[in-house]
């Protein structure tokens, strides 16, 4: 298993607007395609106006296949067009669990 950590940074006030839009249909679309939502977080200290998501995948190939399927979804594309004005940056990291990690 591997974990993809996605961090999105928004303009001030943008994270709240994003979350309001996301919690309806877009969250369900993403969960149905990507599958293993480990956690969804907002920043409280440090860099503010961020959301951080952790998604679990069986492999890099699994991640690539699922991300491509999500990117091809017209409803997902429409959602992205709605949120782009709120977004400042996005970052994706692939995390590999250690032998002693509870998430494996």
Domains and CATH numbers, the chain: 2-95 (3.30.70.100)
User: What average pLDDT does the chain have?
Assistant: 95
| Residue-level pLDDT at 104 | 77
Backbone angles phi and psi of 57, in degrees to 5:
-135, 155
Q: Are the beta carbons of 81 and 35 closer than 8 angstroms?
A: no
- What distance in Å separates the CA atoms of residue 29 and residue 33, rounded to the nearest whole number? 6
- What distance in Å separates the CA atoms of residue 15 and residue 23, rounded to the nearest whole number? 12
Task: Find residue 53's DSSP bridge partners.
Answer: 6, 40
Q: What is the pTM assigned to this prediction?
A: 0.91
Rounded mean pLDDT, 2-20: 96
- What distance in Å separates the CA atoms of residue 86 and residue 76, rounded to the nearest whole number? 16
Rounded mean pLDDT, 54-73: 97
| Residue-level pLDDT at 55 | 98
């Amino acid at each position: 298993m591997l974990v993809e950590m996605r961090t999105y940074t928004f303009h001030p006030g943008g994270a709240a607007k994003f979350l309001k839009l996301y919690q309806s249909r877009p969250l369900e679309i993403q969960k149905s395609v990507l599958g293993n939502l480990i956690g969804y977080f907002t920043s409280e200290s440090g860099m503010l106006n961020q959301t951080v998501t952790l998604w679990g995948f069986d492999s890099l190939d699994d991640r690539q296949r699922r991300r491509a399927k999500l990117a091809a979804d017209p409803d997902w594309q429409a959602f992205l067009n709605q949120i782009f004005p709120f977004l400042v940056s996005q970052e994706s990291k692939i995390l590999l669990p250690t032998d002693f990690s509870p998430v494996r």
